[in-house]
Structure 1
Amino acid sequence: MTNIEMNARAALYLGSDWHNAKQEGSREFPTAAKAVRFAMEEAAPVSLRGARMIVGDRSFAGEDIADFYRSSAYPFERKVTRKYRPSRTARWLQKLNS
């Protein structure tokens, strides 16, 4: 798993795919930890499919955001236990690779 500075400013794009998320625009958060919390606890689960979180000059996809939420470095108490569900294409690729 990639590490990030949870106290750094973050921009969060949410949508059913990246094109949709980019069109919707970003939500700005004072910390990456708050962006992760919003994505996992407030946003619709379908929004993680096209999600991107920008922290500094680095970009993270929906699966990365879910990993940060489950990480021991996540500073807040978790309110829900929702698993990130990969897209059908990602699941199909996993089957091909196994």
Structure 2
Amino acid sequence: MPPSRDARQGCDAFKRRTTSLRNDVLDVLTKANVPLSAYDILRCVSHSNCPRIAPTTIYRALGKLIASGLVGRLESRNAFVRIWANDPSHLVYCIWRDRRTLD
């Protein structure tokens, strides 16, 4: 689903005042087809030529992204998703598990 104009502007404004790690976390969630745990995100943003990133650093980045309305947390799964809505307080998540799509 393409982002709305307001969501794109919010994302652009956020990227102008953010860190490269937050940008990397947001990019990982944007490209993901499924909700990701913080450890999934950590594996995606870790690079062999960079210092080790602590899980708490990922959680801090996710906290900032959640506060900005760009990421949502699925508490029942302890996972995170990219949000494209203008007002994330009115979102409803539907989660289903279809074994055919997991292969």
Quick check: TM above 0.5? no
Structure 1 or 2: more helix by fraction: 2
Give the structure with the larger strand fraction.
1
TM-score by length of structure 2 reads: 0.31
Q: Which has the higher contact order (CA 8 A, sep 6+)?
A: 2
When normalised by structure 1's length, the TM-score is: 0.32
